[in-house]
Each structure stands twice: as structure tokens, then as C-alpha cells.
Amino acid sequence: MVAIPEPRLQVNFARILGEVRGTMLQEALGETVRRLQISELDKELAGFVPAGSLAALAGHGLRGELMFAVPMVLAENPKLLGYYRLLYGYSQKEFYASSVAGKFKPLEERGSLTEKNKAGLEILCREMAAAGALLLAGISTNAINVSLLDDLTLLTLGPQLRGGANVRTGSAAIAAVFGVIESIVSGSVAVSGSAAIELKNAAGRKVLIEFAPDPDIIIREEMRAGIYRQLIAIEIKGGRDFSNIHNRIGEAEKSHQKARAAGYVECWTVVNVDNIDLEMARRESPSTNRFYRMSDLIAASGPEYQDFWDRLVSLTGVPVDLPD
């Protein structure tokens, strides 16, 4: 019997896609255009878009704004900048890294258009018209239609949604492991915050357990004011996709190489794949001292959790009651 996982990610994508269609895909564009004076829109299109491009679209019964942004459309619905970005195949990182488009990110993200950005729409739309003309020229004129343009936006949107889901999954996994650590040392917590907790260990020294960008969680002991001993670096890989485990272990290795260079004594990797080949993982991340399965840590039972508990308590030196 083959165990097929629940399609939770795709269910979530379907919900998000429904929302996005109403804000910055073709449906949103059509609704926006219905609020505009078509004669004025046609004048702007003629002023920004090459005549040959408009003629090519018209030959297939398509209006120019389906492929080309103009100021009055973006002023009416700033979020539609996202439609044109997706249509042209640019990731958010690539598009907003440009010197022209960078300052316009609030249009897509918040639907916000400042007076300064409104004054710069002409330059933005002219730059985008050049890119749109190249895209149109590269598409077979026999193939172009409304469905193709919609498909092109979705081809760019898919990786964006997956990337966002991966970030959320990773953040949730880090928070879960942080919660496991906090539950183990709860009796020694002196100060607790959203990004760090401070402990007092048996020697009366301060121990900091902190969220960090790379690796994900770090644990340090203050030997004297401002001087720390780096105890534990923990890299957490929350993805459940087994086929991508090699990439995630490789990412953990890079993170732990940095941690070792910074002086961390122990480097641990927590994975969210239960059937991981630990021998393979050790070969691919030799900088990792210990591998732990997230399911075991969250369950707070079993030999892996006991090992995690023992090592955490021993290295931090916090006084705790033995677990049952």
C-alpha cells in the first residue's frame, strides 16, 4: 500500500489563487478597465506602446492593456503592477531589484500609490512597454490569446506561492523547536521575549537562547559581561518533501560551517522527514554533530528526544528535574 500525503499545500494554493484573481490577475484587470474611460485609455496605450504591438494584439481581438501597463490603469488599481510583473515572468526579487521598479513595490504589496510614485509611473510604464513588446514578439502570433496570457501569469505565480509556503513552513518549524527547548528549560527562565529567552544556569551565569537568521537558533553562555561562549547552533529544516532532503541537508551543512567558524561547540540539525537516511545525512553534513527528527521532539518522547534533552541540559548547565 502506498501512503499518499494529504494535498494540503495545493488546497491552500487554490484558496490563495481565488483571492489573487480578484486583486491582480486578469479578472481584476477587467474590473478595473470597466471603471475607466476607454477613449482615454486608448490614447495612453497609443502613447506608450509600439504601434506594431497594438496591431498584433488587435489582430487577435485583444486589447492593449492585457499586455501593457499604462499610468491610468496602475493609478486606478496599483496592485495590477503585480499582474504585469507576473505576465512578463519576473520574480518579485528580480523585478524590484531594478533601479526603475524598486520604489514601486508598495503598489503591488499594499495597493499604495504615493504622489511621488504617481509622478514616476510614466517612466515605469515606458520601461515595461519595452519588455512587453519583446515578450509579444517572442510569442507566436498564432498562439496568442487570453488563456495564454493567463497561463503565463500563473507560471510565475506558482513558484512565488510555493516559496511563500516554504517560508511559512520553515518559520513554523523553527517556532516549534524553540517551544520544545523552552519547555525543557522553563524552570530556569529569567526573561522571556518574542525573539529570545534568558536563563540562569546552575553556575549563576546567563544563557541566551535566540532566534537567528543563520543558523535558526543559537544558544550562548555569558562568561562575563559581553563575553560569550558559543554553545549550540541549531539548523531546522521544516519541509516534509522527502525528494528535496538532499538540498536541505546541504543547506544545513553550509549553515553549520559558518557556525563552527564562529566558535559553536555543537551543531545540530532538526529535520521534518521521518524516514531520513541518517548515514546519508551524516555524509552530506559532516559539520552536524546530531540529527533529530522533529516529530520525536514535538512528541517529547523516545530516544531522540531524550538525547536532545540530555545534551541541551548538559551544555547549558541549567538545573532541571529529570523527565519521566
Residue 263 CA to residue 254 CA, distance in Å, equals 15
Total domains in the fold of the chain: 2
Tell me the Ramachandran region of residue 111: left when phi exceeds 0, alpha when psi lies from -120 to 50, beta otherwise.
left
Q: pLDDT value at position 231? A: 94
The answer to whether the predicted template modeling score (pTM) of the entire model surpasses 0.85 is no
Tell me if 178 is assigned to some domain: yes
Are 118 and 191 members of one domain? Answer: no
Q: Which of 89, 114, 144 is the last residue of a domain?
A: 144
Q: pLDDT value at position 134? A: 93
Q: pLDDT value at position 1? A: 55
Report residue 173's pLDDT band, with 50, 70 and 90 as the boundaries: confident
Are 170 and 264 members of one domain? Answer: yes
Are 134 and 224 members of one domain? Answer: no
- pLDDT at residue 4 above 70? no
Q: pLDDT value at position 242? A: 65
> What percentage of residues in the chain have a pLDDT greater than 90?
47
Q: pLDDT value at position 248? A: 85
Summarize the confidence of residues 178-203 as an average pLDDT.
86
Are 98 and 216 members of one domain? Answer: no
Tell me if 270 is assigned to some domain: yes
Are 310 and 173 members of one domain? Answer: yes
Tell me if 123 is assigned to some domain: yes
Q: pLDDT value at position 102? A: 84
Are 200 and 81 members of one domain? Answer: no
Q: pLDDT value at position 141? A: 66
pLDDT tens digits for 300-311?
A: 888 999 999 999
Tell me if 267 is assigned to some domain: yes
pLDDT tens digits for 204-262?
A: 899 999 988 788 899 999 988 889 999 999 999 877 666 678 888 988 999 999 999 99
Higher pLDDT, 8 or 190: 190
Are 214 and 292 members of one domain? Answer: yes
Q: pLDDT value at position 275? A: 83
Burial tier of 62 (Cβ tally within 10 Å: 0-12, 13-18, 19+): middle
Q: pLDDT value at position 23? A: 84
Phi, psi (5° rounding) for residue 82? -65, -35
- pLDDT at residue 14 above 90? no
Q: What radius of gyration, in Å, describes the C-alpha atoms of the chain?
A: 26
Q: What is the mean pLDDT of the chain?
A: 86
Are 122 and 207 members of one domain? Answer: no
Tell me if 255 is assigned to some domain: yes
Report residue 2's pLDDT band, with 50, 70 and 90 as the boundaries: low
Tell me if 310 is assigned to some domain: yes
pLDDT tens digits for 96-127?
A: 888 778 899 999 888 989 999 999 999 999 99
Tell me if 50 is assigned to some domain: yes
- pLDDT at residue 164 above 60? no
Are 247 and 184 members of one domain? Answer: yes
Are 125 and 176 members of one domain? Answer: no
**116 to each of 24, 103, 110, 113, 260, how far by Cα in Å?**
22, 10, 16, 8, 47
Q: pLDDT value at position 322? A: 54
Q: What residues contact 151, with CB distance under 8 A and at least 6 apart?
A: none
Q: Which of 93, 109, 144 is the last residue of a domain?
A: 144
Tell me if 44 is assigned to some domain: yes
Q: Which domain holds residue 292?
A: 165-316
Are 80 and 193 members of one domain? Answer: no
- Whichever domain contains 234, its CATH number is 3.40.91
- pLDDT at residue 167 above 70? no
Are 286 and 198 members of one domain? Answer: yes
Other CB atoms within a 10 A radius of the CB of residue 300 amount to 15
Higher pLDDT, 61 or 13: 61
